[in-house]
Amino acid sequence: MELTGRVVVLTGAAHGIGAAMARRFAAEGARGVVVSDVDLDAARAVAADITDAGGRAVACRADATSKVDLQQLVSRAREEYGPVDLFCSNAGMAFGTGVHAADEQWARSWAVNVMQHVYAAQAVLPTMLARHRGYLLITASGAGLLGTPGDAPYSVTKHAAVGLAEWLAITYRPRGIQVSALCPLGVRTALLEPGIAAGHPAAIAIAAAAPLLEPSEVAESVVHGLGTEEFLILPHEAVRETYARKARSVDDWIDRTIHGTITTIPEG
């Protein structure tokens, strides 16, 4: 997909990867960008950056786990700019807890990291299917392919996000809808950097797996991946190689992970 003239909606777009993608898409000539987040003030700041640079953007407050909110985003985009061409469900959540995480943490992880993408697809697919074109970009994680020692809810739900993206691609690609799963490793965002500073096992494992990228570098990879319509968009090339090695021998992969990372998993 070429981004020039496209209408784009993003969730989790006030900070980090989402904000970088919003700015980058606008710079590519998007017709309009809907910048949504629960942090409306920060979303407005991103939208202002875009308009100040000559682009078109509007900020909206939206809870990415709300089916109604995501439907309203699609309606707002249509009112402002026209039918949505690209929906980026990008919000993410991590707690850094193990299998004994509180029920509320499991539920919240599932809502943000999985059901957000379900609701986004439900909201935007009817119009895309009627037009026989459209694009869904699901921000998953390298953890959705390789796991994350030290964070069970994050690892499990990101695997589910990749699985959902695969299902959507298989089901809707024949009907003109493209789907990509964005799977970076460590990125310098507020989701990861506090954990690194605190010495959390999951954050340390991610940081050790590959060099940390800036959000702008991830956004550049996304533009390239959308342009070539790759299913897996992998800003860290090491993910592709490691994922292939994992597929060759999962038992070997598990053993290497056990012996190559911090294995103390928090139980609360």
Catalytic residue list: 154
Return the structure tokens found at 132.
């026989």
H or E element that contains 17: helix 16-27
For residue 248, the one-letter residue type is: R
Q: What are phi and psi of 114, to 5 degrees?
A: -130, -60
Radius of gyration of the chain (CA): 18
Amino acid at the residue 85: D
**Alpha carbon distance 54, 32 (integer Å):** 11
**Cα–Cα distance, 130 to 123 (Å, whole number):** 13
10 DSSP β-pair partners: 35, 88
Token reading at 77: 């985009």
The residue length of the chain stands at 268
- Do residues 12 and 39 lie in contact, with contact meaning Cβ atoms separated by under 8 Å? no
Q: Determine whether 181 is exposed, middle or buried from the number of CB atoms within 10 Å of its CB (0-12, 13-18, 19+).
A: buried
Going from the C-alpha of 118 to that of each of 36, 47, 170, 214, 259, the distances in angstroms are 17, 26, 15, 28, 36
Q: Rounded to whole angstroms, how far apart are CA atoms 71 and 183? A: 25
Structure tokens belonging to residue 222: 């996304």
Going by C-alpha positions, the residue among 13, 63, 62 that lies closest to residue 33 is 13
